[in-house]
Amino acid sequence: KQWYQRRVRGDTTIKKWHLQTRKEKGGQRPAHKDRVQALAHIPELRSVVSASRDGVVKLWREDSFGDPKSDPAKSLIAEVDAHPGSSIQDIKVSVSHIYTASADSTIKIWSIPQKLNSEEITS
């Protein structure tokens, strides 16, 4: 079993942990340009979604996420400036959508691409 964690205190990284050994299995460093505010796992799609204080949402491939041998750019499936100029406070996910809530008092719904090799998330 695995567990994903976002760091606090202005950290831009996402770490992947093994639950039984309590050891880090890898992570994206940096995952965002600004502090990671929210994180969600979509097990059905084998992907992870992260959101940052600068309003950016990223969709990552779980299988190559944090692997030191893999190219970090290949782990990133999609990136969208979901709430420009506003901090994302929370994200929720389903198999087909990402829901974002930001400090600008808006909630947005984003469609997840059918094929996870897509370049973008659409609103």
Taking only the tens of pLDDT, the chain with its 123 residues reads 555 554 445 687 777 777 788 777 766 667 788 888 898 989 888 888 999 999 999 998 887 766 666 666 678 888 999 999 999 999 999 989 999 999 999 999 998 876 543 344 554
pLDDT (0 to 100) of residue 113: 73
Distances (CA, A) of 6 to 14, 26, 38, 113, 114: 5, 12, 7, 24, 26
The pTM for the full model equals 0.79
Amino acid making up residue 54: D
Q: Strands across the sheet with 23-28, in order?
A: 2-6, 14-18, 23-28
In the structure encoding, which two tokens stand for residue 121, read together?
A: 């998330």
pLDDT (0 to 100) of residue 51: 92
C-alpha 88/C-alpha 67 separation (Å) is 27
14: left (phi over 0), alpha (psi -120 to 50) or beta: beta
pLDDT (0 to 100) of residue 67: 65
Return phi, psi of residue 45, to 5°: -105, 0
End-to-end CA distance of the chain: 32
C-alpha 50/C-alpha 60 separation (Å) is 8
In the structure encoding, which two tokens stand for residue 123, read together?
A: 């609103």
In the structure encoding, which two tokens stand for residue 12, read together?
A: 């831009």
